[in-house]
Amino acid sequence: DWLQSDPWLAVNESGMLFFARLEVSLLPSGRRIVVSRSSDGGLTWEATVAVADSMGLDKEVLYSDGEGSLYAGYKRGPTLRVARSEDEGESWSPPTVLPHTAEGPTGPVLATGRDGSVFAAWWSRPDDNVWVAASCDHGGSWGRLQQVNPVAGSVTFVGMPAFPSIASGEDGEVWVAWQVFAGGDWDILITLSHDAGVTWSAPIRVSDSALGDQFMPTLAAGPDGSIHAAWYDSRTGNVNLVYARSTDGGATWSTNMRVTTEETPFFHRRLGDYLGLAVGPGGEAFLAWTDRRTGEQNIYFARSSNF
């Protein structure tokens, strides 16, 4: 019997829907990362294909570049790996291994450019930094390993993981957001690269409040050059999902907007590892998240016309 966890969705340029997940076998013990696809919006699904099959697998992600390539990133033991499919998930390349320091990477997130470039970001422990690696050949090889948090060791573990988020724009921009523990609470910072990850701007804080914790950021780029962000926020004393949008590359941000209609008690602030954020062709933002407004942990959804 197989248990399933860590779901990820992606849609490619032809509208094909892909569903990746981690599967764990109880007897005999084992793990695998698999992808299924649907050509009718999820009504029916084709045969499942394994991307990786090994003990030590965790933290898979799935990403379509909209140009014919599908990427799956994951952690295997002390390494991070990326595999590519060029036939809509029917087969997968042998994985390439991301460069990393001697410290322990915790799991990758991915973004792509139109020129075949791929970017991966991750949080590493116990050095407590956020790293970005870039590939210029569709993930075939990797270089330009960069630490994007300017203060080394500032992305510390204080009660919850500090996984980063990454997004890429139509004109080659790449953004990375992460949470940093400074001044007694968590804040979210974002940095921008205009040169495929060679250099990065000075980080900017996204939140418009100095109160409470801001943590677990997620990013998505809009087709009009905008960049969208969402995160958990405890400025009220409890936890809400908050959203903001930037139209100038992340230099300035809109007034932060509370998305949740009911709060999660602060002592339940550990709500998982990821949030879901996507931007449609018309600029609408779509959000999926977990909260415990009822005392139970459930998944909720909202779109920008509703908040």
pLDDT tier at 102 (50, 70, 90 boundaries)? low
Q: Tell whether the model's pLDDT for residue 142 goes beyond 80.
A: yes
What is the average pLDDT across 43-71?
94
Q: Tell whether the model's pLDDT for residue 244 goes beyond 90.
A: yes
pLDDT above 90 covers a percentage of the chain that reads: 71
What is the average pLDDT across 90-111?
89
Q: Tell whether the model's pLDDT for residue 296 goes beyond 70.
A: yes
Q: What is the pLDDT of residues 264-292, one digit of tens each?
A: 988 887 888 889 999 988 889 999 999 99
Q: What is the pLDDT of residues 151-210, one digit of tens each?
A: 888 898 887 788 999 999 988 899 999 999 887 889 999 999 998 888 999 999 999 998
3-state helix/strand/coil string of the chain:
CEEEEEEEEEECCCCCEEEEEEEEECCCCEEEEEEEEECCCCCCCCCCEEEEECCCEEEEEEEECCCCCEEEEEEECCEEEEEEECCCCCCCCCCEECCCCCCEEEEEEEEECCCCCEEEEEEEECCCEEEEEEECCCCCCCEEEEECCCCCCCCCCCCCCCCCEEEECCCCCEEEEEEEEECCEEEEEEEEECCCCCCCCCCEECCCCCCCCEEEEEEEECCCCCEEEEEEECCCCCEEEEEEEECCCCCCCCCCEECCCCCECHHHCCCCCCCEEEECCCCCEEEEEEECCCCCCEEEEEEHHHC
